[in-house]
Every structure is written in structure tokens, then in C-alpha cells.
Amino acid sequence: MNQNQQQQSSDGRHDDDAAHSDFLASLMDYTPTIPDELVEHYLAKSGFQCPDVRLIRLVAVATQKFVSEVASDALQIRLVAVATQKFVSEVASDALQQCKARQAAVVKDKRDKQQKDKRLIFTMEDLSRSLREVSIEVFYDIYMPVLL
């Protein structure tokens, strides 16, 4: 390598080091969603102990990102399922309308149902599918009690 290439290489490394240092310093001011104590507990449980709070917060941020992505994927899975159910429901409803010729009553029922069905409900199946995409297999009992 000539002198210019070495200079550019060391400048790039210096910029990366400065960015890493700035990021690690910013972790001291950031309060992640997952508490430091919880992260420390699970790290200690797996045999890892580190007195550096920045590293603990880095793990918390990475965990928060992972959970966020899994939840987002589960939401997309649920939205696709709801859209599919609505499509099948509309097709069945249209067929019913043509067969029984009760258009006025069905249209009124459709409007009432559209106003009520605004909530999405996540299921273990949605979560399992989302986790399966990141190679985590979840086994659960179908009759598992739900705590509210």
C-alpha cells in the first residue's frame, strides 16, 4: 500500500473508533425499556458478568430491537390473517346476497360489524410463526390457561 491508502485506511478506522466511542457514551444517558437489573440477571444466569453498564445497556437495546421486530412480524401475520378472513367473509356474503336477495339487511349488518371489529387480538399462533422466522421454535399447550 502506498502512503495515501494507509492514511485513508487509518482515517476510516479513526472515524469508526470515534463513532463507537460516541455510541457507547450515549448509552450512559439512555434508559432502555428493559431494566438493567433484568439484563444483568439473565446475563449472570448464563454465566456472563460484566461491571460495565454500557455493555449491559447495549444488550438491553439489542434485546429491545429483537422483541420489537418479533412483535412487528406477529402484527403483520395477524393483519394478513384478518385481511384474508375479511376477503373470504365478503365473498361468502356476496354469494349469500345473490342467493337470498336480502341486500338491505346484509349491507346494514356489514356496516355494524365494520364499526365493531377494530381491535386486533394476537394469538400464540401469530407469535409462534413470527419466532419461527428467526429460528426459535415455541411449544405450547393448546389448552394453556390465559391470565388476564
Per residue in 44-65, pLDDT (tens digit) is 999 998 888 888 999 999 999 9
Q: How far is CA 148 from CA 23, 69, 133, in A?
A: 39, 24, 28
* Domain boundary assignment for the chain: 13-132
Q: How far is CA 20 from CA 17, 53, 136, in A?
A: 5, 15, 30
pLDDT along the chain (148 residues), means of 10: 50 75 82 91 92 89 92 88 75 64 51 60 83 84 62
pLDDT at position 69 is 92
Q: Cell 460516541 appears where? A: 22
